[in-house]
Amino acid sequence: MGAFWGDHVDHESSLEIFAQARKSVTACSAHSLAEVYAVMTALAVRPQISPDQVLLFVDQIRDKTTIVALDDGEYVSAIRDASELAVVGGRIYDFLLLAAARKIDPKNIYTWNVKHFRDLAPDWEKRVRTPKQV
């Protein structure tokens, strides 16, 4: 979201990392497309960002990244793993993002939610970073 909303506190560094994205080396969870849509269309800004405008952002993400999706078995398996680890509430969504990431074993994971991701994937602590930590 930070890459697309000019008033986001970390817009510049988010946009910079997104500008470097290439399908051959950059991936995005399919779930993140829905998150971008949900957050961007619900921002309390005037003028409000229209669904059509947000769809253009989603298309840009698709054009610049490889989309990684969990199939139904992977989804349920990830939820089972989360249950065994006592992951509760909204943290399941970060857990699912990490499950998608594990399918491709990325070099880096960029997020503004570093603490939650590192807590959920301590084995990937050094991979999880903000766009400012490039």
- Tens place of pLDDT for every residue, the chain, 134 residues? 677 777 677 778 888 888 999 999 999 999 999 999 999 899 888 888 999 999 999 999 999 999 999 999 999 999 999 999 999 999 999 999 999 999 999 999 999 899 999 999 999 999 999 988 76
DSSP three-state, residue 68: strand
Quick one: pLDDT at residue 11?
Answer: 77
The structure tokens 């990244």 sit at 65
The structure tokens 């930070």 sit at 2
User: What element of type H or E holds 40?
Assistant: helix 30-42
Residues 127, 108: contact at Cβ < 8 Å? Answer: yes
Quick one: pLDDT at residue 134?
Answer: 66
- The one-character DSSP state at 113 is -
Question: Quick one: residue 101, left, alpha or beta (phi over 0 = left, psi -120 to 50 = alpha)?
Answer: alpha
d(CA 113, CA 129): 9
CA angle 108, 82, 121 (to 5 degrees): 25
Quick one: pLDDT at residue 59?
Answer: 96
d(CA 94, CA 89): 10
Quick one: pLDDT at residue 96?
Answer: 97
